[in-house]
């Protein structure tokens, strides 16, 4: 059967409220961890995440990369970068763009040839992205009135 | 790590349930195909969990198990929805016409799962990446035989149009700009609530400052999406959308408003504005049928301020969204409703006959609502004991006739 991931929209960008993001990022983390421990380079989710991240940048190839993200996704990504300690704490939007671009490049590089890549670091970002995406969605939806009989 | 074993077992049970569901009788292939796609995604995830070993990174293992658990929380109701789409209580007659409509306004290759649902509000499951090119529309179970509510499916199709056309990317910069402009105008208020943000410039350059207003943008985007969906429904179905909406939601539900919808009064004012643009008449007193819901309880001062920003930003987009919905619907809909055709269908109904050559679903539903509000209809026919029941049956039969007529022209 065709991979459902592969059937996704070509132009899909990273979106904080995408329901599949927690599982997609977790699966990417597992693929990276599996490569680290077994050497098996099977990157279905890594590829999909890489595609969404790359689609989220304007002026690809230019020196200064600018992410084209809605404000909610900026918040999510900043939290994931901070949680995974990708670099220092994200203080500015420019810094966030630059670090996210690094993540996008690294994911692309892993997909092309994982040898010599900081696989642990990228995996940790994916883990953080999964957790932060899940909590972001939860926080958003908790603001909706719930069913009074449900506890 | 025990949680990994539990996680695998849970997923195994979930996949077994899908296997059982696949044994059901499906009236149309799309529900079955949706199950296969969900199965494919979760089977792939289980395959990845199975590769984790004692030497795997513990944090990765735990997060993967947690994500799997969240996935089950989110997808189990979806399996229930797909199963219910096979239930005989559904009006299967509407599937074909709704699918044709979806293929016109959303995407030519779209698939549809339409079902009764044990949620009061009609709903759509959206953003399911594992179900690309799918529209899933639910209607409340106790009204599943009531075709007069079908115009509300137009709202749900609107969500798919919003996603397919990536209108978030189109409108979110405008929304964010409006929010930032309003913060600058209301700087004293903002600064009192967020004193750590030193100046205007920080709002767009500083990550901490950006997070202070980001929820307002999220809410405004969702409010705008809901508004757009209403306008899609209004453009496709005209006045019948207003009646269906009022039937379902007037005067309001008790309780507090949701931050991701405009408050009810504001929403209805949007309808009235759209009706004027789209050229149909709003029933007299329609606005007065509705009341605003209460503000969310328990909101702190910061949240109240953010919600006011969100409301203002969403309202500022109303005209643009009305125009966007009109442009997208008009550019894709093959047959729009017309007064002449509605009148002809109503004439058939008056003769207690299903409509022929109705032209489109909206003609049937508008005629249906006019018949519903026609006080003297069939009063001289003693054999008709229940006007409402007869009308519903006539509408459903007309939809069936309409679909046969369409099948003769273009098979689905």
Instruction: Give B318-330 as a DSSP string.
Output: HHHHHHHHHHHHH
Spell out which residues of chain B touch residue A131, defining contact as CB-CB under 8 Å: 63, 66
Tell me how many helices (H) and strands (E) chain B has. 16, 3
> Average pLDDT, stretch A138-142?
78
Q: Is the pLDDT of residue A6 over 50?
A: no
Q: Percentage of chain B with pLDDT > 90?
A: 84
CA-to-CA distance for B292 and B266, rounded, in angstroms?
8
Cβ contact, residue pair A30, B37, below 8 Å: no
Which residue of chain B is at minimal alpha-carbon distance from A55? B169
CA-to-CA distance for B322 and B273, rounded, in angstroms?
8
CA-to-CA distance for B250 and B244, rounded, in angstroms?
10
> Average pLDDT, stretch B343-362?
98
Nearest CB among B41, B59, B217 relative to A71 is that of B217
Cα dihedral B226, B230, B236, B238, rounded to 10, equals 180
**Alpha helix (H) ranges present in B284-350?**
301-316, 318-332, 339-350
Q: Residue A64 — pLDDT band, cuts 50, 70, 90? A: low
The torsion angles phi and psi of B28, rounded to 5 degrees, stand at: -145, 155
Question: What does the pLDDT read at residue A4?
Answer: 30
Which residue of chain A is at minimal alpha-carbon distance from B176? A71
> Average pLDDT, stretch B205-229?
96
Q: Residue B127 — pLDDT band, cuts 50, 70, 90? A: low
Token readout for B127 is: 């953003």
Spell out which residues of chain B touch residue A72, defining contact as CB-CB under 8 Å: 214-215, 217-218, 221
The torsion angles phi and psi of B187, rounded to 5 degrees, stand at: -60, -40
What lies within 8 Å, CB to CB, of A124 at 6+ separation is A29, A84, A85, B59
Q: Is the pLDDT of residue A78 over 80?
A: yes
Cβ contact, residue pair B37, A4, below 8 Å: yes
Question: What does the pLDDT read at residue A149?
Answer: 62
List the strands of the sheet with B123-125, edge to edge: B111-117, B134-140, B123-125
What lies within 8 Å, CB to CB, of B76 at 6+ separation is B14
- Higher-confidence residue of A9 and B266: namely B266
Q: Is the pLDDT of residue A10 over 70?
A: no
Which residue of chain B is at minimal alpha-carbon distance from A56? B169
Q: Residue B117 — pLDDT band, cuts 50, 70, 90? A: confident
Cβ contact, residue pair A8, B132, below 8 Å: yes
> Average pLDDT, stretch B210-236?
97
Angle at A116 between CA A115 and CA A120, to 5 degrees: 95
Q: Residue A3 — pLDDT band, cuts 50, 70, 90? A: very low
Cβ contact, residue pair A19, B64, below 8 Å: no
Neighbours of B98 (CB within 10 A): 23
> Average pLDDT, stretch A17-42?
94
- Report helix, strand or coil for B19: helix
Cα dihedral A94, A98, A100, A101, rounded to 10, equals 140
A82-116 confidence digits (pLDDT tens): 999 998 899 999 999 999 999 999 999 999 999 99
Evaluate whether A95 touches A83 at the Cβ level (below 8 Å).
no
Spell out which residues of chain A touch residue B60, defining contact as CB-CB under 8 Å: 26, 29-30, 33, 123, 127
Which residue of chain B is at minimal alpha-carbon distance from A70? B172
Q: What is the mean pLDDT of chain A?
A: 86
Cβ contact, residue pair B64, A95, below 8 Å: no
- Higher-confidence residue of A140 and A146: namely A140
- Report in angstroms the alpha-carbon separations of B131 from A35, A85, A87, B114: 28, 33, 35, 14
Evaluate whether B113 touches B82 at the Cβ level (below 8 Å).
yes
Spell out which residues of chain B touch residue A95, defining contact as CB-CB under 8 Å: 207
Evaluate whether A74 touches A13 at the Cβ level (below 8 Å).
no
Nearest CB among A4, A24, A93 relative to B210 is that of A93
Token readout for B321 is: 């969204």
Q: Is the pLDDT of residue A1 over 70?
A: no
Cβ contact, residue pair A27, B48, below 8 Å: yes
Token readout for B352 is: 């207690």
Question: What does the pLDDT read at residue B121?
Answer: 78
Which residue of chain A is at minimal alpha-carbon distance from B218? A72
**Cα dihedral sign for A87, A89, A90, A91?**
negative
Tally A–B CB contacts below 8 A: 161
Query: Where do the structural domains in chain B lie, given as residue ranges?
Result: 1-83, 87-146, 165-332, 339-409
B288-327 confidence digits (pLDDT tens): 999 999 988 888 999 999 999 999 999 999 999 999 999 9
Q: What is the mean pLDDT of chain B?
A: 94
Angle of the B318-332 helix axis to the B167-185 helix axis, nearest 10: 170
- Does the reported pTM lie above 0.95? no
Cβ contact, residue pair A19, B48, below 8 Å: no
Chain B nearest CA to A114, separation (Å): 18
Spell out which residues of chain B touch residue A127, defining contact as CB-CB under 8 Å: 59-60, 63
Neighbours of A87 (CB within 10 A): 13
Question: What does the pLDDT read at residue B128?
Answer: 67
Distance of CA A37 to the CA centre of its chain: 22
- Report helix, strand or coil for B166: coil
Angle at B46 between CA A48 and CA B82, to 5 degrees: 85
Q: Percentage of chain A with pLDDT > 70?
A: 83
Nearest CB among B172, B207, B296 relative to A93 is that of B207
- Higher-confidence residue of A150 and B129: namely B129
CA-to-CA distance for B339 and B341, rounded, in angstroms?
6
Q: Is the pLDDT of residue B190 over 50?
A: yes
C-alpha distance across the termini of chain B, in Å: 51
Chain B nearest CA to A111, separation (Å): 17
The predicted complex's ipTM stands at: 0.89
Spell out which residues of chain A touch residue B131, defining contact as CB-CB under 8 Å: 4
* A4-18, B74-88, B217-231: least confidently modelled range: A4-18
Q: Residue A63 — pLDDT band, cuts 50, 70, 90? A: low
What lies within 8 Å, CB to CB, of A88 at 6+ separation is none
Token readout for B231 is: 């306008």
Question: What does the pLDDT read at residue A146?
Answer: 63
The torsion angles phi and psi of B290, rounded to 5 degrees, stand at: -115, 155
B129-167 confidence digits (pLDDT tens): 678 788 889 889 999 889 999 999 999 999 999 999 999
């Amino acid at each position: 059967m065709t991979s459902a991931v592969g059937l996704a929209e070509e132009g899909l960008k990273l979106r904080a409220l995408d329901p599949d993001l927690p599982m997609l990022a977790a699966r990417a983390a597992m693929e990276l961890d599996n490569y680290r421990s077994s050497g098996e380079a099977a990157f279905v989710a890594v590829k999909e995440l890489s595609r969404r991240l790359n689609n989220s940048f304007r002026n690809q190839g230019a020196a200064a990369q600018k992410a084209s993200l809605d404000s909610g996704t900026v918040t999510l990504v900043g939290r994931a970068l901070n949680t995974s300690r990708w670099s220092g704490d994200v203080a500015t939007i420019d810094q966030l763009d630059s670090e996210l671009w690094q993540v996008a490049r690294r994911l692309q590089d892993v997909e092309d040839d994982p040898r010599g890549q900081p696989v642990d670091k990228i995996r940790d970002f994916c883990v953080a992205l999964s957790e932060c995406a899940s909590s972001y969605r939860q926080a958003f939806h908790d603001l909706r009135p719930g069913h009074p009989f449900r506890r | 790590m025990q949680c990994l074993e539990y996680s695998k077992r849970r997923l195994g049970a979930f996949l077994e349930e899908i296997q059982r569901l696949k044994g059901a009788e499906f009236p149309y292939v799309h529900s079955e195909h949706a199950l296969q796609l969900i199965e494919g995604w979760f089977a792939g995830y289980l395959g990845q969990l199975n590769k984790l070993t004692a030497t795997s990174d513990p944090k990765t293992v735990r997060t993967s198990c947690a994500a799997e658990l969240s996935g089950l929380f989110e997808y189990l109701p979806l399996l229930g929805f797909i199963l219910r789409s096979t239930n005989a209580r559904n009006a299967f007659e509407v599937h074909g016409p709704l699918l044709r409509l979806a293929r016109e306004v959303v995407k030519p290759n779209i698939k549809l799962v339409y079902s009764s649902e044990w949620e009061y509000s009609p709903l759509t499951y959206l953003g399911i990446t594992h179900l690309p090119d799918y529209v899933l529309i639910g209607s409340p179970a106790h009204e599943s035989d009531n075709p007069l509510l079908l115009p509300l499916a137009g709202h749900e199709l609107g969500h798919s149009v919003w996603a397919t056309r990536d209108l978030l990317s189109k409108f979110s910069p405008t929304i964010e700009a409006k929010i930032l402009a309003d913060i600058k105008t209301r700087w004293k208020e903002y600064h009192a609530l967020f004193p750590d943000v030193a100046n205007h410039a920080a709002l767009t350059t500083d990550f901490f400052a950006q997070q202070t207003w980001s929820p307002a943008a999220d809410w405004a985007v969702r409010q705008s999406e809901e508004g757009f969906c209403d306008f899609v429904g209004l453009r496709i179905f005209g006045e019948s959308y207003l009646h269906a909406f009022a039937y379902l939601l007037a005067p309001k539900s008790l309780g507090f408003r949701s931050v991701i919808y405009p408050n009810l009064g504001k929403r209805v004012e949007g309808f009235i504005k759209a009706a004027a643009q789209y050229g149909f008449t709003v029933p007299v007193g329609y606005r007065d049928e509705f009341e605003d819901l209460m503000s969310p309880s328990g909101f702190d001062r910061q949240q109240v301020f953010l919600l006011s920003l969100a409301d203002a930003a969403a309202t500022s987009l109303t005209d643009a969204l009305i125009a966007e919905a009109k442009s997208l619907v008009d550019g894709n809909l093959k047959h729009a409703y017309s007064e002449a055709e509605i009148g002809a269908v109503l004439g058939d109904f008056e003769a207690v006959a299903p409509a022929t050559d109705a032209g489109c679903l909206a003609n049937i539903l508008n005629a249906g609502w006019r018949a519903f509000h026609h006080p003297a209809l069939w009063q001289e026919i003693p054999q008709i004991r229940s006007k409402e029941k007869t009308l519903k049956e006539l509408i459903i039969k007309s939809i069936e006739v309409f679909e046969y007529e369409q099948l003769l022209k273009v098979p689905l």
